[in-house]
Amino acid sequence: MPAPRDTDRYGRPVRGGRKPKWADTAHDVPPPVPDDTPEPLDVPGEASTSREALDEPGDASETTSTPREAPEPLEPASADKADNPASAGSEDAKPHGVFAVRARMTWRTAWRALAFGILLLASAGFVAGGVMGGGSGVGSLVFIVLGAVGLVAFGGGFVAAVGGPLAKRPVLEIADEGVRRPASWPLPRSRDRVLPWTDVTALLALRRGVAGTKRGEQDFLVFLSTDAVVELAREAERAALIVFTLADVPATTPGMPEATRWSFAVDQSWDTTLPALVKQIRRRHKIPVVDRRTR
């Protein structure tokens, strides 16, 4: 009979030369060897988040966010005229005629006309109900008066909503002599306002609103008439530029009332874009452009 061993089958000492009865030799497993290899930062099959991966240019579809698209520049490159100054001078000398900006018929205009039409029919129903009720009682007179007021108010709104787009009257005209702001339809054209080029010092392009909201962003084009407002447009904080789009702001800077009167909201219904409009203006009058849409 062999002598009892002082160690187990893994070489570990056994107290008293024998294992206790409760020892389970069938499940003796050596302790795991610690792995000193560091965990990889880039998991195969997933997008890399390391600095090298972020700095390396790749396909735009692999990034989680898309950079905001910069607006189209409003001033042409100076090299365009330096290449051919003779053609640039001849282009400035010849007349360009009138460039008219008109508003197209949109769904918003159609829904507005429909709303005024429904209110107009409701007002006519009030008048008809008062007349059919006898027209002598207090209730009938109230119905007739309310209906008449509604016919005048909503009828005027319906005519303005439908007649404006159908009349095709421009909202802005750029001529060789200056800028013309036509009177709103149905006012006569004799009520138009004109700003000669001699009173225009620079153009200001700014942007209001927040992207991704219901109203979204709105571009404005402002005609500046004095050096003081031009300096204010260049140096003021972007949030302070809202004063150029409000008509009831106190005149703290010379030329500010004139600038607010000649401020145009570039609506989506216009048949032209802001860069194209600025190009037409600079063809007729070479003035600097202060572009504050993104800064």
Instruction: Give me the mean pLDDT over the 236-264 stretch.
Output: 82
Residue pLDDT, tens place only, 50-84:
434 334 444 444 444 444 566 777 765 543 443 44
Instruction: Give me the mean pLDDT over the 79-97 stretch.
Output: 50
Burial class (CB in 10 A: 0-12, 13-18, 19+), 173: middle
Determine if residue 211 is left, alpha or beta; phi over 0 gives left, psi from -120 to 50 gives alpha, anything else beta.
Answer: beta
- When comparing pLDDT for 45 and 159, which is higher? 159
**Residue 288's pLDDT band (boundaries 50, 70, 90)?**
very high
Q: With beta carbons less than 8 A apart as the criterion, state whether 172 and 101 touch.
A: yes
Q: With beta carbons less than 8 A apart as the criterion, state whether 206 and 294 touch.
A: no
Contacts of 179 (CB under 8 A, 6+ apart): 172, 173, 194, 195, 197, 200, 223, 262, 281
**Residue 18's pLDDT band (boundaries 50, 70, 90)?**
low
Structure tokens at 89: 């001078």
Q: CA 22, CA 14: separation in Å to the nearest integer?
A: 13
Bond preceding residue 38 cis, omega within 30 of 0: no
Instruction: Give me the mean pLDDT over the 115-143 stretch.
Output: 85
Least confident range of 25-39, 192-206, 217-231, 265-279: 25-39
- Looking at residue 92, its pLDDT comes to 52
- When comparing pLDDT for 133 and 154, which is higher? 154
Secondary structure of residue 174 in the 3-state scheme: strand
Q: CA 293, CA 129: separation in Å to the nearest integer?
A: 54
- Looking at residue 289, its pLDDT comes to 92
